[in-house]
Amino acid sequence: MSERKKTRVLVLDDDRFMLEFVSHLLKELDVDEVLVAEDGKAGLFVLSTQIDDVDLLICDIEMPGMDGIEFLRNIANQKYGGKIVLFSGVDEDLLKAIERLAIVRGLSVIGTLVKPVTIGALADLLEKLTLPVQVKVESSRSRQIFGVDELKEALLADQIKIFYQPKICALNRRVTSVECLARWQHARYGYVSPDNFISVIEQNGLINDFTRNILRKSVQQLDTWLQQGMDLKISVNVSMENLDRFNLPEIYQEAVQNSNVPIERVVLEITEGKLGRDFAQSLDILTRIRLKGFGLSIDDFGTGYASMETLKYMPFTEMKIDRIFAHKAAEDLATRVILESSIKLGKAFGLNVVVEGIETQADFELVAALGCDEIQGYFVAKPMLPDEFICWISDYEQKRK
Ligand code: C2E
Ligand code: MG
Ligand code: MG
């Protein structure tokens, strides 16, 4: 039998008493290893000397020397992959602003802890350590480790697999569609998330073949599901780097025309943040993609730079509101205001409004009540391989009836 994985926590606080007190409480709660550091610099040093991952970082904000915000900036640059709890006596709004900043930097903040700390509050946070996380390679090996040759070999050896994550109708909860998400089935690291390799593909001129391949395979999968009587659509992610050639609409059309799938059942998702390098060319290509019959979704809405201008000009059919506006919207007023306004904006433009990244029942109920059309997130289901998806959907539909 395999051994239980050890839990390792690093606590950062300039107050020695607090360090000892929190360490003591963590040990009471069965944490296997507690590391401590008295300021940001010491924290970075401790992290740099670890062979095993640190699972949780409890980080004070106000520290002399390097403060908590600077510390978080540093560990985000170093791709720290564990979870974080912000720990402070600063006021709640400021703590929330710091939490949002950390999330924007790609860090995984699972909560905040106000002083004075209690064992109950710590126990609640430790419980969250077991929530599902995205399949990612270890932080110390992320992003830069994959070279272009390794990726070329992976593409040739057909090691890129597609996971399918359902979207459901907010009103009747029916599964309407699946988003097709690439994973690299790596011999050593298991399923590697696209954040770790898409940029290498983009930077080395491989993205066009890659996207065409994903589109072709996803369409084939949908073809099979439609033949089995399922009523689904698919969404496929298209990189802005793809929009470098005017014949792209024809290339995508061909990928669908080699199947029985009606083109209207295929939605292409484009991330807003990268739109507009050559605005006229992007507009030309995207408009012709729509003309061919594809749906067009503005992905990660709210995180880019040109939201309003983009919405005005680009022929989108769908708006996908980024998960940073859904995460904890039920608890956080500012997040909720942005979420609500974005949904209204999308509806006013006549778009199908999707909220992604819904992880809790409270957020699910909130976004449904705010009038979004479709919902996606771990609360509904995580991305799955086709066999797993089939089992999941039959089970889900049984329960829904
Ligand atoms: P995206 O298109 O915004 O996809 C949603 C991401 O959020 C997926 O991550 C999904 O697994 C994750 N997710 C879904 N529900 C939840 C939730 O409740 N909580 C949290 N924390 N995360 C959730 P994934 O699969 O790692 O993909 C990351 C990004 O990589 C995608 O973001 C997309 O931009 C890109 N990507 C994925 N597949 C492809 C592809 O085939 N081509 C291109 N160009 N990009 C891709
Ligand atoms: Mg997407
Ligand atoms: Mg997205």
156-165, 228-237, 323-332: which has the minimum mean pLDDT?
323-332
Residues carrying CATH 3.40.50.2300, the chain: 8-142
Query: How much is the pLDDT for 277?
Result: 63
Residue where the block lists tokens 């000397």: 49
CB of 214 sitting under 6 A from ligand 1: yes
208 in contact with ligand 1, CB cutoff 6 A = no
Q: Quick one: tokens of 21? A: 């007190």
pLDDT, greater one: 185 or 114? 185
Say if residues 82 and 50 touch (Cβ distance below 8 Å): no
**Ligand 1 atom closest to 136 (CA):** 26
Tell me if the pTM is above 0.85. Answer: no
Instruction: Indicate if ligand 1 lies below 6 Å from the C-beta of 383.
Output: yes
Mean pLDDT to the nearest integer, 160-173: 97
How would residue 314 be classed by pLDDT, with cut points 50, 70 and 90?
Answer: confident
Report d(CA 260, CA 257) in Å as an integer. 7
Contacts of 332 (CB under 8 A, 6+ apart): 96
CB 80 within 8 A of CB 107: yes
Helices (H) and strands (E) in the chain, counts: 14, 14
Rounded Cα–Cα distance for residues 39 and 117 (Å): 19
Categorize the per-residue pLDDT at 355 as very low, low, confident or very high, splitting at 50, 70 and 90: very high
* CATH class of the 8-142 domain in this structure: alpha beta
Start-to-end C-alpha separation, the chain: 40
CATH 3.20.20.450 spans which residues of the chain?
148-400
Nearest Cα neighbor of 201 from 213, 218, 187 is: 213
Predicted local distance difference test score (pLDDT) of residue 145: 59
State which of 103, 134, 320 you would mutate to test the pocket of ligand 1, scoring each by most atoms of that ligand within 8 A of its C-beta.
134
Q: With bands split at pLDDT 50, 70 and 90, how would you rate the model's confidence at 136?
A: very low
For 374, the enclosing helix (H) or strand (E) is strand 374-376
pLDDT at 294: 96
The pLDDT-based confidence of 307 (bands split at 50, 70, 90) is: low
60's CB contacts (< 8 A; 6+ apart) are: 12, 13, 14, 15, 18, 68, 87, 88
Tell me the one-letter amino acid at 90. Answer: V
State mean pLDDT over 166-187: 96
- Residue 91 CA, chain-centre distance (Å), reads 28
Amino acid identity, position 37: A
Percent of the chain with pLDDT over 90: 55
Closest ligand by atom to 198 CA: 1
- Ligand number nearest CA of 133 is 1
Convert the pLDDT of each residue in 42-84 to its tens digit. 999 999 988 888 999 999 988 888 888 899 999 999 889 999 9
Atom of ligand 1 nearest to the CA of 163: 25
Instruction: Note the CATH number of domain 148-400.
Output: 3.20.20.450
DSSP 61: S
